Amino acid sequence: MSAVAGSPVVVGVDGSAHGLIAVEAAAKEAARRHRPLTVVHALVWIPAGAVADPAMAPAAHEAYRERGEGYVAEATALAARCAPGIGVIGRVVPGPPSAVLLDESRRADLVVVGDSGHGDIIGTLVGSVAMHVAQHGGCPVLVVRGSGRTDGPVAVGVDGSPASAEAVAFAAEEAAARGTDLVALHAWSGNDADSDEQTETRVLAESLAGLAEKYPDLRVRRVVREVSARRLLADWSRTAQLVVVGNRGHGGFAGLLLGSVGLHLVDHAGCPVAVVRSRTTSSGPWSRSIEHLGSGARTG
């Protein structure tokens, strides 16, 4: 099926090899979602800390624009080869990469970034652009890293919070579209007097309520471990083809992207990481699935 009109998948490029890997992943996501793909290059023509000669500004700006247009042309051609059925457009947008991608995220179904870059995306994306967009973007963000395997499950971190309900909905849609299993991971701490394995197993079951009805053919594996969330998710990232997390949580996943767990995953996971940021309005199928999944979730 060809891509249909609607909110696009957006990918940022900077001329790096990692950026092109992100383009391939974004093209496949667009095809799975039946969405168009927008390739964006953020045009920053003055290097950080440099003192520009005003007389040189027009020529320098044009040279940087031409280079950016070359990056976009290469990326759009690659996307068309990877997913011939999708519509692809490319744009060079003036502004810092974080600001440009955040603005794009307000209208996107998904934003895709590579795990490192160069050129006009100064420094690595991890810890700066990717992390900033994941924390503040208006849609889910996919950070492409690791081996890019296609034979593992989709793994999702679940803690019973509303944010993890959205992550579950996104992960289920991804697993169903990829034709693979969904592994729901719930970590808990033995230091919590109100927790035991039976209680935490029930939390996970409630968080997955409605999943079988929505996806009757999806095989769901439930994993409850008395272990740190960081360790549990990192271990599964070595065999999964995608790890999905919410951008807020409680319990073992509290402060996920603001603390060591999220930072560790985005910087060290063995596979791509999708960060699902809560938003109240979206045309994406993952958001429409939330009403089927979150009825039994705890709040916090």
pLDDT in tens, 21-53: 999 999 999 999 999 999 999 998 665 555 555
How far, in Å, CA of 41 to CA of 28, rounded? 19
Helices and strands (H and E) in the chain: how many: 11, 10
Separation between Cα atoms, residue 244 and residue 262, nearest integer Å: 11
Tokens of 152: 């593992």
- Do domains 9-144 and 154-293 share one topology? The answer is yes
Q: How much of the chain, in percent, has pLDDT values that exceed 70?
A: 75
**Domain regions of the chain by residue span:** 9-144, 154-293
Cβ atoms 184, 204 nearer than 8 A: yes
* H helical segments located in the chain: 17-33, 57-82, 97-105, 130-136, 162-178, 197-207, 211-214, 229-236, 260-268, 285-288, 290-293
Tell me the whole-structure pTM to 2 decimals: 0.82
Helix (H, G, I), strand (E, B) or coil at 89: strand
Residues 220/244, Cβ–Cβ less than 8 Å: no
Q: Is the pLDDT of residue 288 over 50?
A: no
Q: Tell me how far apart the alpha carbons of residues 127 and 116 are, in angstroms, rounded to a whole number.
A: 10
More confident residue, 193 or 181: 181
Please state which CATH number belongs to domain 9-144: 3.40.50.620
pLDDT bracket for residue 123 (50, 70, 90) = very low
Q: Average the pLDDT over 211-229 and give the result.
A: 94
What is the C-alpha separation between 113 and 199, in angstroms, rounded? Answer: 38
Pairing mode, if any, of strands 242-246 and 273-276?
A: parallel
Looking at the DSSP assignment, which residues form a beta bridge with residue 262? none
Alpha carbon of 245 to those of 23, 59, 164, 270: distances in Å?
A: 22, 44, 7, 15
Could you please state the CATH topology (level 3) that the domain comprising 154-293 is classified under.
Rossmann fold (3.40.50)
The pLDDT score that the predictor gives to residue 294 is 43
